[in-house]
């Protein structure tokens, strides 16, 4: 029996990159996927692709910074499938700015999507996850462990997400809920492709090498999806409050 047979998994950021790869990977292992993203057309396409391949999925358009929409999304997931076994908070945004030029609205935007959004998702989902002794996987970043230039808001948001992961793990450990984070390095996704074109003016490119493997390579999103699939089910039963660094050895 596939390890996700009869498991319901809600994945945010499922329209693209790591979220899409994770949705497809877990669906291929028998999971019923609630694909969530603010990009309605794209997320519907991902769910349709899963169904076309013989899997089960629904798509929900939701901005994770909108608490009403977040609560309605979790309610719809549970109404549709009767339970929730795992929440994967993968939606996120990246911006590069010189620290001295970072606007408050941009700081708030990044913090809202990357930290406040996953928090609201966890608040809505935890009551259901306690019923199934479920799993939470939060997509943090190597930016939370070390630092990359010009990413003050992003690094702060991913650090906050890592701390939240540990709080949730400790608070609910006796009730059978697992909560872990993944900290990827450079992964080849639309986010990274877009960011590469928005390096701040006058930035010294030598500082970028700190965020890249010596050969300049990026890993495919499927390499992160396999880690998500590991941490969002019973294979990770005795792992909680931890993070998995997934960077090809960059920070070793
Ligand atoms: N790509 C990398 O190198 C890398 C490295 C470390 C961590 N991460 C993290 O992995 C996650 C996925 O990133 P990706 O590289 O796959 O990027 P991506 O841009 O391909 O995917 C991000 C998805 O999140 C969705 N999203 C953004 N804001 C949202 C919101 N407010 N509500 C709902 N959905 C929203 C986008 O529509 C998109 O589909 C992010 O949290 C990112 O910070 C990525």
| Ligand 1 midpoint to CA 193 (Å) | 12
User: For a pocket test of ligand 1, which of 14, 17, 62, 120 has the largest count of ligand atoms closer than 8 A to its C-beta?
Assistant: 17
* Parallel/antiparallel/unpaired status of strands 243-246 and 32-37: unpaired
Q: What angle do CA 164, 97, 205 make, to 5 degrees?
A: 110
CA–CA gap between residue 130 and residue 123 (Å, rounded): 12
Q: Which pLDDT does position 196 carry in this prediction?
A: 79
CA–CA gap between residue 117 and residue 36 (Å, rounded): 12
CA–CA gap between residue 224 and residue 206 (Å, rounded): 27
Q: Which pLDDT does position 195 carry in this prediction?
A: 84
Q: Within 10 A of 176 (CB to CB), how many other CB atoms are there?
A: 14
User: For a pocket test of ligand 1, which of 10, 12, 13 has the largest count of ligand atoms closer than 8 A to its C-beta?
Assistant: 13
Task: Find out whether the beta carbon of 15 lies less than 6 Å from any atom of ligand 1.
Answer: yes
Q: Which pLDDT does position 43 carry in this prediction?
A: 98
Q: Write the residue with the smallest CA distance to atom 30 of ligand 1.
A: 63
Query: For each of the chain's 252 residues, which pLDDT tens digit applies?
Result: 799 999 999 999 999 999 999 999 999 999 999 999 999 999 999 999 999 999 999 999 999 999 999 999 999 999 999 999 999 999 999 999 999 999 999 999 999 999 999 999 999 999 999 999 999 999 999 999 998 899 999 999 999 999 999 999 999 999 999 999 999 999 999 998 898 788 888 889 888 888 888 898 999 999 999 999 999 999 999 999 999 999 999 999
Q: Are 153 and 110 in contact (CB under 8 A)?
A: yes
Catalytic residues: 154
Q: Which residue has the tokens 């549709």?
A: 80
Q: Ligand 1, closest atom to CA 224?
A: 10
Q: Which pLDDT does position 147 carry in this prediction?
A: 85
Task: Find out whether the beta carbon of 118 lies less than 6 Å from any atom of ligand 1.
Answer: no
The three-state secondary structure class of 8 is strand
Q: Which pLDDT does position 199 carry in this prediction?
A: 87
Would you kindly state where each structural domain of the chain is located, as residue ranges?
8-244
8-244 CATH: 3.40.50.720
């Amino acid at each position: 029996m596939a390890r996700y047979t009869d498991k319901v998994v809600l994945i945010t950021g499922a329209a693209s990159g790591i979220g899409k790869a994770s949705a497809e990977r877990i669906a291929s292992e028998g999971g019923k996927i609630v694909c969530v993203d603010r990009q309605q057309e794209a997320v519907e396409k991902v769910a349709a692709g899963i169904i076309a391949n013989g899997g089960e999925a629904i798509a929900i358009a939701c901005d994770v910074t909108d608490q009403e929409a977040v609560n309605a999304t979790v309610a719809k997931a549970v109404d549709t499938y009767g339970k929730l076994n795992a929440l994967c908070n993968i939606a996120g945004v990246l911006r590069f700015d010189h620290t001295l030029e970072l606007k408050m609205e941009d700081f708030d935007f990044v913090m809202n999507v990357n930290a406040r959004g996953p928090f609201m998702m966890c608040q809505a989902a935890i009551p259901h996850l306690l019923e199934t002794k479920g799993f939470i996987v939060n997509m943090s970043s190597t930016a939370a462990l070390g630092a990359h230039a010009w990413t003050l808001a992003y690094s702060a948001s991913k650090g906050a997400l890592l701390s939240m992961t540990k709080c949730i793990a400790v608070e609910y450990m006796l009730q059978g809920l697992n909560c872990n984070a993944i900290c990827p390095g450079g992964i080849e996704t639309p986010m990274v492709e877009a960011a590469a074109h928005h390096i701040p003016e006058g930035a010294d490119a030598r500082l970028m090498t700190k965020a890249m493997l010596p050969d300049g390579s990026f890993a495919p999103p499927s390499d992160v999806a396999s880690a998500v699939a590991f941490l969002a089910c019973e294979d990770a039963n005795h792992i909680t409050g931890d993070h998995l660094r997934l960077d090809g050895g960059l920070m070793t």
